[in-house]
Each structure stands twice: as structure tokens, then as C-alpha cells.
Amino acid sequence: MYFAALLARTEDGWEASDTELDDVETLNDLADLAREAAVDDDTVVAFIEQEDAWFGVVRVDGEDDPRVFLSNAAIAARSSYGAMLTDELLGRDDDDATDDLDSLDLDGTEDGEPESDNNVEDDDPLEAVNGSDGPPHGPLGDAALLADLGVSEKELLALDGDALSTIADSLGCTEVLEAVR
């Protein structure tokens, strides 16, 4: 189960809104959603959490590129929204895994002949899909994205459990976040 919220900074503090991610398929979609919640192109922070397994923070400042932090990329990559953010951080295209699977010769032959073992890239054809280039176990992204708002890189990297409440405490917006929880 996911929890997602947008916190928009205003002159009077923070405004929180519960957000549905049903129509969000890319980081750009999430950034557009955040920009719609912004007041005068000010900062918007999107929180995504999945049952204390992982959390993500996406910061959008006006038309700047969104900045992203994931608490545990390997676990997040197993979920749809986490995978979207992980793929973006690792520079993967959405269709990479599909293209890799489509290109596999699953019966092990090409034109009726066995594949040669001389091609290093084909030694383990599933490695491109599941292998060593997978997301790291642990944090991924810009751990300093909230430093100017009161959450240092070191503090963000040390968070676990109910991290979003801890972040909200530091930002001074616990009550508004809890109102949408």
C-alpha cells in the first residue's frame, strides 16, 4: 500500500495535499503534478512511501528538473512507482527491459544453430534484464535535496521507519502532513 502526498511551500508555511498516483507513469508526470500544486512556482516536495519498506522524496522547484531520493533502490524497484523513480535515476528507458526480453532467443538457437560461447555479451542473456546493473541495495539519488530546508544529507541517509514524519518535523509541517494521512 502506498502513501503519497505533495507539500507545497507558501509564504504562510506548507500546504499538503493527498495525491493519487494512478495517472503518474513517469517522473515528468509526477513533476507536472507537483508544479500544479505549487504556489508561485515555489518548492513542492512529493513524498511516496510503501509500508515502511522504502520512501522516496521528489523535489520540484519551478521549472527546474526534479530532484529525487530513494531510501532503498533495490526494494523500491520491486514496486511500480519505485521502479519508475529508480529507472529514472539509473538512466534507463521504460522500454529497456521489454526490448531486452524481446531480443532474447529463448530456445537457444539462431536459424537452427546453437549460439556460440565466444560472445561474452550472450553468456547470460538475462543479465541485461536482472543482472549486475540492477539498483543498489540502499539509498539512491540526491541525498542533499532537502538540506536547505532543514534536513541534511546525513540525516536523510540515516532515516528509517516513519521517515516521512521525521522529515515533516524538520520542515515544520507535521500537522499538515498528518491531516492528509
DSSP 60-121: EETTSPPEEEES-HHHHTTSHHHHHHHHHHHT--TTHHHHHHHH--TTSEETTEEPPTT-GG
Per-residue pLDDT averaged across 61-90, rounded? 95
152 or 22, which is more confident?
152
Q: Please state the length of the chain.
A: 181
Tell me what pLDDT residue 23 has: 87
What is the Cα–Cα distance from 9 to 27, expressed in whole angstroms?
20
What is the Cα–Cα distance from 126 to 174, expressed in whole angstroms?
45
pLDDT over 70 for what percent of the chain? 77
Tell me what pLDDT residue 161 has: 72
What is the Cα–Cα distance from 84 to 55, expressed in whole angstroms?
13
Q: Kindly report, residue by residue over 88-124, the tens digit of the pLDDT.
A: 999 986 554 444 444 444 444 444 444 444 444 444 3
**Contact present, 153 and 163 (Cβ < 8 Å):** no
Tell me what pLDDT residue 38 has: 93
Backbone angles phi and psi of 97, in degrees to 5? -65, -40
Tell me what pLDDT residue 48 has: 94
Q: Kindly report, residue by residue over 25-50, the tens digit of the pLDDT.
A: 999 999 999 999 998 889 999 999 99
Tell me what pLDDT residue 120 has: 40
| Residue (of 69, 53, 70, 74) closest to 133 by Cα position | 74
Tell me what pLDDT residue 61 has: 96
Tell me what pLDDT residue 155 has: 96
Tell me what pLDDT residue 95 has: 52
What is the Cα–Cα distance from 9 to 99, expressed in whole angstroms?
41
**113: helix, strand or coil:** strand
CA angle 52, 58, 62 (to 5 degrees): 155
Secondary structure element (H or E) that encloses residue 75, with its range:
helix 73-76
Strand partners, 162: none
Tell me what pLDDT residue 94 has: 53
pLDDT at 126 > cutoff 50: no
Average pLDDT of the chain is 82
